[in-house]
Amino acid sequence: MTERQKMLAGDMYDPFDADLAAGRARARDLCQALNATRETEQDARRRILKDLFGKGGESVWMQPPFFCDYGSHIELGERVFFNFNCVVLDVCAVKIGSYSLFGPAVQIYTPMHPLDAELRRRQEFGKPVEIGADVWVGGGAIILPGVTIGPDAIVAAGAVVSRDVEERSVYGGVPARRLCSIDELVERMKQDHRGYPWHDLFESRQVPLDTLRPTLDRMRIEHFFGRRKAAA
């Protein structure tokens, strides 16, 4: 097996291998070019993203700066969104489902290091990360190696996710733990209207309901806002 094959399989590998070093250099050059683009240079930005990612570069919504190890091991569904300053260390596969959102400074890690200090000097290994569709990860959250996040889940800002996240659930804290289901969150929003921060945006139509992902169950939210407006 080549060192890249070992790496992607989650086996111990030599990170100083010439092929891997060249792959990292390629990704850093592409990220540097991406991060130097202006907002008016959307065509150039799109070309770079298509070259950088293994899949999904044609539709990803990216706010630079962005940083990754290889890029080619990142597979994105349709219209994934990365806000400013996200980092994806993709020594193993990172798969992200369609319409998932990542707030500023979210970090996704796949690299692992041996506990033995001498071995750690020359070898490492990794574990893949898989994130479902319509996931919302808040700013500053960290996704650790080997984690799977189910579809429609929400990870609170600043969380450190070290274990799998159930679908349609809200996780937060350090380490992250399950706080409630999406349905439970919607019920809490109904009980405390003043605590929900998006109301004014929806009322002004600045953020159409059908484009905000994940929806937190769109029909329930529309019903909730309708009741609040009637009460006002």
Average pLDDT score over residue span 36-57? 96
Cα distance between residue 163 and residue 178, in whole Å: 10
Looking at the predicted structure, is the pLDDT value of residue 218 above 60? no
Cα distance between residue 11 and residue 76, in whole Å: 24
Q: What is the pTM of this model?
A: 0.82
pLDDT of residue 81: 96
pLDDT of residue 208: 41
pLDDT tens string 154-184: 999 999 999 999 999 999 999 999 988 888 8
pLDDT of residue 186: 72
Contact 181, 165 (CB under 8 A): no
Q: What percent of the chain is predicted at pLDDT more than 90?
A: 76
Cα distance between residue 103 and residue 81, in whole Å: 8
Looking at the predicted structure, is the pLDDT value of residue 213 above 80? no
Residues involved in catalysis: 113
| Two structure tokens written together for 53 | 């990612």
Quickly state the pLDDT bin for 204 (edges 50, 70, 90): very low
Cα 212 to its chain centre, rounded Å, is 16
Looking at the predicted structure, is the pLDDT value of residue 82 above 90? yes
Residue type, position 62, single letter? M
pLDDT of residue 182: 85
pLDDT tens string 90-142: 999 999 999 999 999 999 999 999 999 999 999 999 999 999 999 999 999 99
Residue type, position 44, single letter? A
pLDDT of residue 190: 62
Cα 35 to its chain centre, rounded Å, is 18
pLDDT of residue 184: 82
Average pLDDT score over residue span 195-224? 42
pLDDT of residue 189: 64
Residue 76 pairs with which residues in a beta bridge? 96
CA distances for 158 relative to 74, 169, 178, 201, angstroms: 23, 16, 14, 24
φ and ψ at 108, to 5 degrees? -120, 120
